[in-house]
Amino acid sequence: MDGKALAEKVRGEVAKDVEELGSLGLATILVGDDPASDVYVSLKHKDANEVGMRLIDKRLPANTPEDDVLALVEELNADDGVDGLLVQTPLPDHLDEFTILSSVRPEKDVDGLTPQNAGLLYLGRNGHVGATPLGVMRLLTEYRVPTAGARAVVVGRSPIVGKPMALLLLQANATVTVCHSRTDDLARHTLDADILVAAVGVPGLITGDMVKAGSTVIDVGITRTDAGLVGDVDQSVAELAAYVTPVPGGVGPMTRAMLLASTVKAARYRRGLLPFP
């Protein structure tokens, strides 16, 4: 599956939406100087620029007290020039991630990490949903991979990828199994999957002998190595699967593109063009 090409198409759609909506703003808050987070934030800015969105880049030192971070979130919540707002994770240890992420106004919460948006997803009345699981669903739709009645196995249960992924697949009428670090005999589950989503961060965890012939394998994992970025899925899977997403060039570009699409959605919520559920 070519995530790069599909991301290009999504960006084209977003650029049209931006034209229609007029000015649009995406704000990011980065606390501290984690190099990977810095790269992610810079890429988000580059993408937003390309589709004509305004970028509000807020950076705070690693030792910023929680109240000051919360005050900045409040300021951006109230700012009419900000449609989408995200706080880059991981946050430094002294900050409570739940408290800070929960303080984002739900209409602006493009990562879908407030209890409100997570709860709406749970209830099947989606507001904002994280860009990575949205990107995976868009890949499945684009490549016409049937989900209804399919057996889907999600490896990973994080709030940002695994859990929302499982819920979206469930909404698409798949029969969903969630595996994680304490799952016994992972292969017993993955071998059954028509759709396998690996979101772990262990290079090569999913090998050819763990996947069903003709299945669709989505590799969300990204690990930085000396040889570059590598996914969770071993090369040997390519011979068996009908579709595999490459790393890089699969889910990564789709995540970036879907964040822009979510910012458009946020703008529609805020302007009353779309009712917030």
> Using CB under 6 A as the criterion, which residues of the chain lie in contact with ligand NAD when the complex forms?
132, 155-158, 160-162, 179-181, 183, 186, 199-202, 205, 220-223, 251-252, 255
Quick one: 72 or 153, whose CB is closer to ligand NAD?
153
Q: Is 167 exposed, middle or buried (0-12, 13-18, 19+ CB in 10 A)?
A: buried
145 Cβ contact list (under 8 Å, min separation 6): 195, 216, 243
257 Cβ contact list (under 8 Å, min separation 6): 6, 7, 8, 10, 11, 14, 47, 135
Tell me, yes or no, if 116 is annotated catalytic. Answer: no
CB of 111 to ligand NAD, least distance (A): 10
Query: Of 111, 194, 219, 232, which is the active-site residue?
Result: 111
Structure token pair of residue 91: 């946050």
CB of 84 to ligand NAD, least distance (A): 17
Query: Of 17, 88, 108, 194, which is the active-site residue?
Result: 88
- Residue whose token pair is 């090569």: 204
Quick one: 94 or 180, whose CB is closer to ligand NAD?
180
Tell me, yes or no, if 88 is annotated catalytic. Answer: yes
- Residue whose token pair is 């930085």: 224
What is the 8-class DSSP label of residue 272? T
Tell me, yes or no, if 171 is annotated catalytic. Answer: no
- Where helices occur in the chain by DSSP H, the ranges are 3-21, 35-50, 66-78, 97-102, 115-123, 131-142, 162-171, 186-190, 251-270
Query: Of 17, 44, 47, 265, which is the active-site residue?
Result: 44
Gap between the Cα atoms of 214 and 239, Å rounded? 9
Quick one: 31 or 179, whose CB is closer to ligand NAD?
179
Chain position whose Cβ is nearest to ligand NAD = 201
Gap between the Cα atoms of 260 and 266, Å rounded? 10
CB of 137 to ligand NAD, least distance (A): 13
CB of 224 to ligand NAD, least distance (A): 9
Question: Are 156 and 220 a contacting pair, CB within 8 Å?
Answer: yes
Structure token pair of residue 160: 């940002």
Quick one: 170 or 274, whose CB is closer to ligand NAD?
170
Quick one: 212 or 270, whose CB is closer to ligand NAD?
212
CB of 3 to ligand NAD, least distance (A): 9
Active-site residue list: 44, 88, 111
